[in-house]
Amino acid sequence: MTGMSDTIIRVENIWKQYRLGTINSGTFKEDLGRWLRSTVLGRKDPFSPEEGEPGGSPDPRRKWFWALKDISFEVNKGEVVGVIGKNGAGKSTLLKILSRITRPTRGRIRGIGRVASLLEVGTGFHEELSGRENIFLNGNILGMANREIREKLDQIIAFSGVEKFIDTPVKRYSSGMYVRLAFAVAAHLEPEILIVDEVLAVGDAEFQKRCLGKMNDISKREGCTVIFVSHNMQSIQTLCTRVMLIEQGVLTSQGKPAQVVSDYIRQSRRYDFVKTWPSVSEAPGNQYIRIRKLELLPDWVGNQSIIDIRTPLQICFSFTCLAADINLCLGVHLFTISGDCIFDVSSVPQQIQACTYEAKCTIPGNFLNDGAYYISLIFVKDTSDPLFYLEECLSFEVEDYRENYAWFGKWMGHVRPAFPVQIRPVSGT
């Protein structure tokens, strides 16, 4: 091993394969049959994981797929590395391999030092044990002696904020308490490498802030190496020294946070903005209404290329009316990704004929909070008779943007209008 002085993790050509579909129904009979065919009769096993070159096109008959393809990278001591990518891109699989929960199918990883990991919501806690006993259990799992853990115990309990329940079995904890305690344990037990998956989204804003601060702290002061997955681009950009982008199991780019993040946002948002249907018969709709075009037009400020909370958004669409003389009213519904309706705006009812119309609606800048949204359209006849409802026809994400704030927790609320609270001095005390 050369140059391992600063390198703390070296990942060499990692591949990971998963079996799709019937993972849980592995029955003895099926495997016995396979074993008989392949070993005794000498035929090729059609389900063999090693068959076929890795990276070859996924064959639907062969129920295997590559979650990670040829990932290689190095991490130096004290770095904070952010991993970004879409859901299902392989980020969590990578963290699972790094924290030794599962093995890679090929390749190897070499590293130095204690690894603490925080994957998904419930960490390595035993349900029946109390919070205190779980702190010890996790410490022991990390390879710490009871004495070392006892020294850290008060700090951990204080940080987690669950003092009152520390002797209650963790099965009675709320998911927020669970995560708080889990993070407190992982961050305080002096790991050399801390691996954190998108778990902090569960806690409240105040706790998220403390966690991100703590991660920053232990990397700066104790030289702990942090690898974390997040969908919060703001925290990725603020905390990380380097960002890696994983797309469909491939490490496509890595480098300076600002660069990788803006590249990622730009390309991942490019596609959904325009949809057109040249032929009426294939267009979505029914015997009254056919949608011909849907478009989301961000009103960029300067050379900006991502939608953030400042960007006004124009929703443009055209539709063909197939019936004559309809008193039509058209509504635009905006929902958050979790399904809460933000608004329902509609047009003035008007008489329309059998031809193609265009409609527009603008969501002003400095109105929506950061988050993912989708739009549904509704066509109503005579103000009460629904003709056609097109659900989730456009979706977009609004990125966070903040100036003059050192705080990067999730901002509360569905909207973030720009009317700040005014403070002025009044005389006297």
By the rule CB under 8 A, 316 interacts with another protein? no
**Residue 321 bridge partners (DSSP):** 289
Contact map string, positions 95 to 134, toward another protein, x by CB under 8 A: --xxxxxxxxxxxxxxxxxxx-x-xx-xxxxxxxx---x-
Report the nearest approach of another protein to the CB of residue 8 (Å): 9
Scanning 141-149, 212-220, 227-235, 306-314 for contacts with another protein by CB under 8 A, the matching segment is 141-149
Report the nearest approach of another protein to the CB of residue 181 (Å): 13
Asked whether the beta carbons of 30 and 98 are under 8 A apart, the reply is: no
Buried (b) or exposed (e) across 293-307, using 16+ Cβ within 10 A?
bbebebeeeeeeebb
Report the nearest approach of another protein to the CB of residue 100 (Å): 4
Give the containing element (helix H, strand E) for 205: helix 205-221
By the rule CB under 8 A, 18 interacts with another protein? yes
Query: Nearer to another protein by C-beta: 102 or 356?
Result: 102
Scanning 39-47, 142-150, 359-367, 371-379 for contacts with another protein by CB under 8 A, the matching segment is 142-150
Dihedral sign from CA coordinates of 108, 111, 116, 120: negative
Residue 294's SS3 state is: strand
Instruction: Give the burial class of 378: count Cβ atoms within 10 A of its Cβ; 0-12 exposed, 13-18 middle, 19 or more buried.
Output: middle
Please state, in angstroms and rounded to a whole number, the distance separating the CA atoms of residues 329 and 121: 45
> Which 8-state DSSP code applies to residue 311?
-
Query: Nearer to another protein by C-beta: 117 or 369?
Result: 117
Asked whether the beta carbons of 237 and 248 are under 8 A apart, the reply is: no
Please give the torsion angle defined by the CA atoms of residues 94, 99, 105 and 109, in that order, rounded to the nearest 10 degrees. Answer: 90
Asked whether the beta carbons of 10 and 74 are under 8 A apart, the reply is: yes
By the rule CB under 8 A, 26 interacts with another protein? yes
Report the nearest approach of another protein to the CB of residue 422 (Å): 48
Report the nearest approach of another protein to the CB of residue 217 (Å): 20
Report the nearest approach of another protein to the CB of residue 28 (Å): 4
Query: Nearer to another protein by C-beta: 139 or 371?
Result: 139
By the rule CB under 8 A, 5 interacts with another protein? no
**Residue 9 bridge partners (DSSP):** 75, 111
Report the nearest approach of another protein to the CB of residue 112 (Å): 5
Please state, in angstroms and rounded to a whole number, the distance separating the CA atoms of residues 272 and 268: 9
> Which 8-state DSSP code applies to residue 38?
I
Please state, in angstroms and rounded to a whole number, the distance separating the CA atoms of residues 203 and 201: 6
Binder among 55, 143, 255, 364 for another protein (CB under 8 A): 143
Contact map string, positions 58 to 97, toward another protein, x by CB under 8 A: ---------------------------------------x
Asked whether the beta carbons of 78 and 191 are under 8 A apart, the reply is: no
Please state, in angstroms and rounded to a whole number, the distance separating the CA atoms of residues 145 and 155: 17
Report the nearest approach of another protein to the CB of residue 124 (Å): 3
Asked whether the beta carbons of 375 and 394 are under 8 A apart, the reply is: yes
Query: Nearer to another protein by C-beta: 18 or 343?
Result: 18
Report the nearest approach of another protein to the CB of residue 140 (Å): 4
Contact map string, positions 144 to 183, toward another protein, x by CB under 8 A: xxx-------------------------------------
Query: Nearer to another protein by C-beta: 1 or 412?
Result: 1
By the rule CB under 8 A, 140 interacts with another protein? yes
Query: In the window 178-197, what residues touch another protein (CB under 8 A)?
Result: 192
By the rule CB under 8 A, 39 interacts with another protein? no
Scanning 36-44, 138-146, 151-159, 324-332 for contacts with another protein by CB under 8 A, the matching segment is 138-146
Calculate Rg over the CA atoms of the chain: 27
Asked whether the beta carbons of 376 and 393 are under 8 A apart, the reply is: yes
Query: Nearer to another protein by C-beta: 114 or 414?
Result: 114
Query: Nearer to another protein by C-beta: 16 or 290?
Result: 16
Binder among 6, 20, 31, 58 for another protein (CB under 8 A): 31
By the rule CB under 8 A, 137 interacts with another protein? yes
Residue 336's SS3 state is: strand
> Which amino acid is residue 189, in one-letter code?
L
**Residue 316 bridge partners (DSSP):** 295, 360
Report the nearest approach of another protein to the CB of residue 154 (Å): 19
Asked whether the beta carbons of 180 and 161 are under 8 A apart, the reply is: yes
The residues of the shown chain that bind another protein, judged by CB under 8 A, are 18-19, 23-24, 26-28, 31, 97-115, 117, 119-120, 122-129, 133, 136-138, 140-141, 143-146, 192
